[in-house]
Amino acid sequence: MSDQPGRDLSEEEMQAIEAEIDRIHVDDVVLQTVVSLINLGARKGAVGAPPEAGIQPDYEQLRTAIDAARALLGVVEGRHGDQLGPIRDALSQLQLAYARGTGTGGAGGTGGTGEEPPRQAPQQPPRSQGGSRLWVPGQ
């Protein structure tokens, strides 16, 4: 590809781009987007940042990243569920950070997790096994 703006691509360059697009699966893009949302959510939520760093968490952006990642995971879970353990773990860590940071966790929570479920995710697709649509850390 050319580094020069405004230059037309050659036929060979166009064919190379088209061949690359043909190799990409939509699931790959969805999973990469989920990973990007988790990474961005961690940064916006200052997850793992030492207190002396002085980073102010943006819990609204963290919440949006969590909701979007959960919704997208539902799209690929049926085909890739057995490979999503590390992604689910990272998402659980974000959910716990959100619960701690916003004070939605508590000793008398539900489900034995010690945390109350935050508001319902409005755009999350329904689970095929008839599960709840409530956002529960670790699920």
Give dist(CA 54, CA 62) in Å, integer. 17
Give dist(CA 30, CA 76) in Å, integer. 8
Q: What percent of the chain has pLDDT over 90?
A: 58
- 61 has pLDDT over 50: yes
Q: Residue 38's closest CA among 90, 96, 99, 98? A: 90
When pLDDT is cut at 50, 70 and 90, the band that residue 83 belongs to is very high
What's the mean pLDDT when you consider all of the chain?
A: 79
Location of structure tokens 């781009």: 17
Q: Bigger pLDDT: 25 or 126?
A: 25
Q: Is the pTM of this model over 0.75?
A: no
Give dist(CA 70, CA 30) in Å, integer. 11
Give dist(CA 113, CA 87) in Å, integer. 19
Q: Once rounded to an integer, what is the mean pLDDT over residues 22-39?
A: 95
